[in-house]
Structure 1
């Protein structure tokens, strides 16, 4: 593996850091006693081992979990050991320190490299870990790693010994990386309390935010090192908006923690569920002037507050949190979901309008949290347990796993709350205090059930309850982190209505988003060994999801709550419209407004219920807005005899990556001659693949061929290791077959190249203009002080760039008037209180010229505030200067080099208003090194005065 730094985006500095994904090209064998040291020596023949890609779960299992009859302690299912072996090389141009990083392995992991055991991880399968293998690798040759993934029962490793209401799957099921660094580097965040990068925003105001960055550097060498840490806050366009730089000595075999604090003061964008704006915190480490290490951390500027009697406020705005619980299970593969499926889960849940996800009942994959950051969904995360509280050693291990989860995910703005209890059992003070010690910026929940434990928050910040039995009105802030849900949605509707009417019930999460695997007895309508679910284990939605979308989103939609089948007497329609019209075989049945059931009194979009007399044929429902305009429609028919297959891929918003482990779910619907799904279709559907891919599973687990369920047979289509076009065909006896094609894209295992984004670190030049005695604005402003009246005044901006200002007039002689200190208060008051103005002619204006700029695109921002009068004394004195300048102009025109005109509202008086001085903003291009860019400022009304108090100049991307 070799990193090509020339492929890095603009502004990204090459360093010694390398990070390669090792998910491909493993060999695997299930079970047996193996000699890990011997297997990890180069040259060992494992050709008879199965070739696999990561994520991998020991084996594919049927939807019935292979007929296993385990109880909730899962004594036998997948309680096996998997052995994984891979060869690798290191980048000879990369750093000298070499690590193997694992995002998650079930559940006790031993690793060998080149014949030596390098580490044991026994904290379970839900948090990351790493091993330093520097002393065991051959930098110039082939290396071998062997991983023992031991999923046998371990009473000391949570969530064992159980019971638990979910399946603990097995294998090397999350991503694996090879990491190289310099001796001096940013360490792994989960390693200890002070490690990696931690970003907080201790103060967030309407238009500014204070950002604190704690960065710990580790020196693995013996000699002390002089290190410089450059931390830059980069906005979504790649522009650096703040930078901090500090140097320190990092002792040999030691650490040094930097504490850097600054502010975002210009054009602040906050993160919210509706506008999930993300900054990046870019870290660059240099030793003796050479860049040696780098990393990036997400930053979402937001506040989350819980207030009794009000609820949850995000950035000061009251926000009802409505969401779901999520397990990471998927059909056949269990936990072994590729990143793309985690992302797709987040996309689907966001599309339905949910704004909070409880991660049940363990830390989830990094990819899911990253997607929640980007989409705007909050997360409640907890340690791996369920209902049993074991002895102190077990509790200590649960605490340590919880701490590692917090360290790993603390920088994600989506994370709102940490779970500080055991499911059903309530608050565990040990967990609460650990959460607060690791992350005092977030609130903790208690994890209660009404039938067990203390019924209050205890030491936690808020009360969590499992509201399955119509809990009484709480007297403290409460989150129903579980509540009843059904396919049709009535419990969801009732509870959301009840919670919307309560000041202290600020959040709820339905049980569950997707059907999940469990050895609990599943309900009758569930499929195989899965339980719950507003979507099935393949992510096929049930009607409740349509109602949630109608309640939680505003884009016009309409959906049917029931199938049009014989015996139906009541049909519900879900829509966020004002009215719905229903027709049967073209005949109008009714046009209705939403139901007004008392139980649904506080809903935004209750269902529309139509009594119907069933008849064969077609129904159609149309939605109308408040003005009577049709905004959406939906139709269905009485199913006929099965005639054909309709094949679709569930790949919206994603691509299929050719890494050998990515997959997409494809649905083969059995339809009649009209294209209507036949819900009771039987028989088998067979899937066939041509091209670089395969269907996962075969007849041994009833995956291919597959029997339809609710008229649909699903398959998992996995990519190969080479990009290309995959053709999937679905066939069944007596039905017309269907075919689709999907193109896969090349995989990029170099994580730095895969995720690096441009950085435009062009300094912002900020200049405060004024006469003698002016106060120059602090925090990076330069002072342009002058008292020249006749002729132009020039100022050296540095780097060969000169700014020139002069008075202009078409009718007379104009001159410059420079104003000094005048005690104006308000935002950027020192800039606003003084400046330069043209006087001497009724049409006097200013010409502003920039010379010496390098070719590129620039933005010029000008600041304008007219004083209360024209004296160079304090505004509290009532004296005017003899040379009258006329009344201050309210509106100015800023003319750019291309002749474009921007209107600027000039503020005035002894105080700058809260929104700041008037601003003119224009962008312009410099096409040649000797080009001169000229701007003009004039008052719209002749005879009025204008001021130029300051300006900001920055180069833009592109």
Structure 2
């Protein structure tokens, strides 16, 4: 990667080579069929490769614009090169142009769909303005009239400036740091183009009814973009088998009907996320006009003053908040990477719920939540303040766009129709709440409040009292406010950087890192103590870029994992809260490292585990049994242990921890005290990707002891070199001293034939490690 080409951009092509490649790529692109709720139809192809990009210039939307100075890029794309910290909002506060050549057959109907453009967009076809869109978090589809045979040009003007009167921006405020998260500009989500039928199903809402009754049914609302006289049929399928079907005549642009006979359907649950496909077909006579497949799940989710109930059983919601921002790319990383966040939350951190703070997030992330059994709170864009009348009109449009896009997702159990932490505008919230319930009567509405005084708790605007509980400030004993009698109560934020330290970094002292873990455990213990809490969603899963922490390099270090998605000690608490039959866990809350602690971690050292007993060994000699901390955390399902780990100075023994469930040894972990045996690791999340230009995977580069445990205190620079046809999304050097001994980059293969990429990492003391990733044309889309 040269100094002139920012991360995320493939090498330049000649203009002639570019035009030839772009036309061939579109004509030969793979079908992008999807089960997503607002997915493009079966003719859609992804517009990932071969966009031309640059700063906005006079005439740049015209058909004959000279493209010589534009750079080829892949989507998703961020307009500015970014580091992992120190983002500069001025680098994206401008207007930008994306141009895409494509070849199509004349006489067909074409649409283009954009899943997310930050922040405003104008779409031009062959020099003609065909659509505008406001807001960066929801999709929009554009009719493409007058497509010609041969070369067509789609030109998208992207406006990433702060001074836009749309949520969450507040143009008459000081600037982007007024909200707690940065928003780099670009076409940062998937884009597709499609040849579509003349009459289309534009929306299908598949709403399960009376789920806990033997007479459960599915209510279908089908919307077309033009009147038709014919019939709509629907088939409900689960695990490849048809469970029921139904039909209704249609004599206009919409039809509603019910499908019964679904007593055999398997319910969707956090432990068994059973999904259904609903295949909807529109016919006029014997002719099929359109067909659409939507995915849903049958589940009953209820927030009550006595707690949360899923399919009739009490479930204490256990979760975290998520921001979608990544190092080096902002939000512009492909679907596989978005899905990986859901996997981390559900499979590694054992969350049963995530809050999408503070905006609608990628459909790929929500699809993964459906598949993994991760419940979702989704909310409209905004943070802390409400704007003028135009801003509020856009707020209503965001409610509609969010609900219609995502109402088939069984994982979503509540709509956040209030602006986060913005109290007092009850007239607007009455409108947003009513709108959400009209579009989807199956879910409650709510909004996260910053205070419990002066706000309207019940009525048209909110059905769940959701509270960002920062009652416990630095230096005070940790506590939560009690639930409010008579209302469902959910803690939607707590801890963050307001309780305890200003930051929780891997480079901070052992005491600071352990404090974060203790606070998260205490918060969930308090919520578990009272059935009236529906649950608790702590702040937050991952570190994220924020103008509120400019003194710390522009990052908020509130995550239990860092911005690279690498766990901190606080993540060990979440990892331990799982049935040992599924996964036995032993995670020390300390570093077994004698550089900064010559006598070891000392007395009262915490070990997070779901075992019944922990036996300790030093150099394979018995060193006692860890003691449970049940007294400190009486309501946690799996409380931590404590051990006195004082080692005579000069010794650096190996630590072994054996975990037992009953009398059975279920896990044994070893930790090296000898830094001389440490190694460098370079581990990809996925060894195989698609060679279509729209895929990527994370590679974690870390210092580890000889047993594989991360060595957080390692310093020094790691140099990276990528060989093979792909792009390194990251920097060619990583400073372990700044990142705490571990960091990550992402690899993205170019579109083309099957190939191999090899990332080589080198550290002066730890040596060399490599990661090899194959790019194929047959890998299942993730």
Q: Smaller-chain TM-score range?
A: 0.7 to 0.9
The answer for the alignment partner of 1:716 in structure 2 is 746
Using CA pairs under 8 Å that are at least 6 residues apart, name the structure with larger relative contact order, 1 or 2. 2
- Name the CA distance, whole Å, in 2 between partners of 1:466 and 1:349: 20
Matches of 1:279 and 1:693 in 2, distance apart?
37
1:344 maps to which of 337, 340, 352: 340
**Alpha-carbon distance in 1 for matches of 2:706, 2:248:** 72
Listed as ranges, the matches of 1:196-345 within 5 Å are 196-219=203-226, 225-236=228-239, 238-250=240-252, 256-309=253-306, 311-345=307-341
* 1:480 aligns to 2:464 (yes or no): no
Deviations 1:295-352 (A, max 9, x none): 111120011112222x111110111111110000011101112100111111111112
Counterpart residue number, 1:20? 45
Measured against aligned partners, the alpha-carbon deviations of 1:645-688 in whole angstroms (never above 9, x if no partner) come to: 2221133xx84222334322222223567876543333321111
2:448 maps to 1:447: yes
Superposed displacement of residue 642, structure 1: 7.6
Contact conserved, 2:384 with 2:422, CA < 8 A, in 1?
A: yes
Mark the runs of 5 or more structure 2 residues left unpaired by the alignment: 1-25, 35-39, 472-478, 497-503, 505-512
Preserved CA contact (<8 Å) 2:32 2:44? no
Change beyond 3 A, Cα 1:472–1:393: same
Q: Distance in 2 between matches of 1:244 and 1:137?
A: 37
| Counterpart selection for 1:114 from 123, 126, 150 | 126
1:440-476 C-alpha deviation (Å, 9 max, x unpaired): 2101123111377427345411101112223331223
2:575 aligned with 1:579, yes or no? no
Aligned residue pairs total 702
Q: Give how far 1:62 is off.
A: 1.4
Distance change >3 Å, CA 482–CA 77, structure 1 → 2: farther
Distance change (3 Å), C-alpha of 1:640 and 1:85: same
1:209-247 residue CA offsets vs partner (Å, 9 max, x unmatched): 21110101222xxxx6433211111112x2222112233
Structure 1 unpaired stretches of 5+: 10-14, 69-73, 188-195, 251-255, 756-958
Contact 1:420 1:447 in 2 (8 A): no
CA distance in 1, matches of 2:628, 2:458: 37
Relative to 1, partners in 2 of residues 1:452 and 1:538: Cα closer, same or farther, differing over 3 Å? Answer: farther
Question: Which has the larger Rg?
Answer: 1
- Residue 56 of structure 1 is matched in structure 2 by 77
- Structure 1 counterpart of 2:195: 180
- Residue 293 of structure 1 and its aligned partner are, at CA, apart by 1.1
Distance in 2 between the 1:306 and 1:442 partners?
Answer: 10
Query: 3-state SS of the aligned residue for 2:309?
Result: strand
SS for the counterpart of 2:260 is strand
Quote the residue 1:380 is aligned against: 377
Q: Is the 8 A contact 1:17 1:292 kept in 2?
A: no
Contact 2:528 2:535 in 1 (8 A): no
Distance 1:382 1:213 in 2: 24
Contact between 2:61 and 2:156, CA under 8 Å: does it hold in 1?
no
The equivalent of 2:560 in structure 1 is 534
Q: CA deviation at 1:3?
A: 8.6
Q: TM-score, normalised by structure 1?
A: 0.70
Matched, 1:689 2:730: no
Secondary structure of the structure 2 residue equivalent to 1:264 = coil
Aligned mates of 2:422, 2:32 — CA distance in 1: 52
CA distance in 2, matches of 1:673, 1:318: 43
Change (3 A) 1:473 1:155: same
Question: How has the CA–CA distance of structure 1 residues 736 and 547 changed in structure 2, closer, same or farther, with 3 Å as cutoff?
Answer: same
Is residue 563 of structure 1 aligned with residue 591 of structure 2? yes
Q: What displacement does 1:437 show?
A: 2.0
2:527 is the counterpart of 1:492: no
The verdict on how the C-alpha distance between 1:685 and 1:165 changes in structure 2, with shifts beyond 3 A counting, is: same
Is the 1:424–1:452 contact (alpha carbons within 8 Å) kept by the matching residues of 2? no
Instruction: State the 1:136 CA deviation.
Output: 2.3
Call closer, same or farther: CA 1:610–1:17 in 2, change over 3 Å: closer
1:169 alignment partner, one of 169, 184, 191: 184
Distance 1:697-1:499 versus aligned 2 partners, 3 A rule:
closer
* 2:94 paired with 1:80: yes
Q: Which residue of 2 aligns with 1:635?
A: 670
Q: Aligned-pair distance for 1:395?
A: 1.2
Q: Is the 8 A contact 1:16 1:293 kept in 2?
A: no
Cα shift at 1:36 = 3.8
The secondary structure found in structure 2 opposite 1:353 is coil
> Partner of 2:577: helix, strand, or coil?
helix
Judge conservation of contact 2:627–2:643 (CA < 8 Å) in 1: no
Contact 2:547 2:554 in 1 (8 A): no
Q: 1:228 to 1:673 in 2, by over 3 A?
A: closer
Rounded to whole Å, the distance in 2 between the matches of 1:203 and 1:217 is 27
Instruction: Give the corresponding residue for 2:152.
Output: 143
Indicate if the aligned counterparts of 1:322 and 1:508 stay in contact, CA closer than 8 A: yes
Deviation at 1:482, TM superposition (A): 0.5
Whole-Å separation in 1 of the counterparts to 2:564 and 2:32? 38
Which of 88, 97, 117 is the equivalent residue of 2:109? Answer: 97
Specify the SS of the correspondent of 1:685.
strand
> Which deviations, in whole Å up to 9, do the C-alpha atoms of 1:561-619 show, x marking residues without a partner?
11013332132111111111112222322224521234x11111111011221342211
CA separation of 1:706/1:594 partners in 2, compared to 1, >3 Å: closer, same or farther?
Answer: closer
- Contact 1:225/1:249 (CA < 8 Å) preserved in 2? yes
Does the CA contact (< 8 Å) of 2:236 and 2:242 recur in 1? yes
d(CA) in 2 for partners of 1:541, 1:5 = 36
Q: Which residue in 2 is equivalent to 1:619?
A: 655
Distance 2:743 2:531 in 1: 45
Distance 2:215 2:642 in 1: 49
Contact 2:670–2:707 (CA under 8 A) maintained in structure 1: no
Distance change in 2, residues 1:735/1:505 (3 Å): closer
Q: Does structure 2 retain, via aligned residues, the 8 Å contact 1:424–1:453?
A: no
Q: Does structure 1 residue 649 correspond to structure 2 residue 679? A: no
Equivalent of 1:665 in 698, 712, 717: 698
Q: How does 1:415-426 map to 2 (within 5 A)?
A: 415-426=412-423
CA pair 457-164 structure 1, distance change in 2 beyond 3 A:
farther
CA shift, 1:258, in A, is: 1.0
Residue of 51, 59, 71 corresponding to 1:35: 59
Q: Classify 1:631/1:442 alpha carbon distance in 2 versus 1 (closer, same or farther; 3 Å).
A: same
- Pairwise CA distance, 1:126: 0.4
Counting only pairs closer than 5 Å after superposition, residues 788-799 of structure 1 correspond to structure 2 as none
Asked if 1 retains the 8 angstrom alpha-carbon contact of 2:181 and 2:544, the reply is: yes
TM-score, normalising length: structure 2: 0.85
Other structure's SS at 1:631 match: strand
Q: Deviations over 1:459-507 (max 9, x none)?
A: 4111011122233312232111101156531111111111112122112
1:737 corresponds to:
768
Task: Specify the alignment match of 1:131 in structure 2.
Answer: 142
Per-residue CA deviation, residues 517-555 of structure 1 (Å, 9 max, x unaligned), is: 10112796xx76243111111110112222212124442
Distance in 2 (CA, whole Å) between partners of 1:479 and 1:269 is 28
SS of the equivalent of 1:667 reads: strand
- Aligned-residue RMSD, C-alpha: 2.7
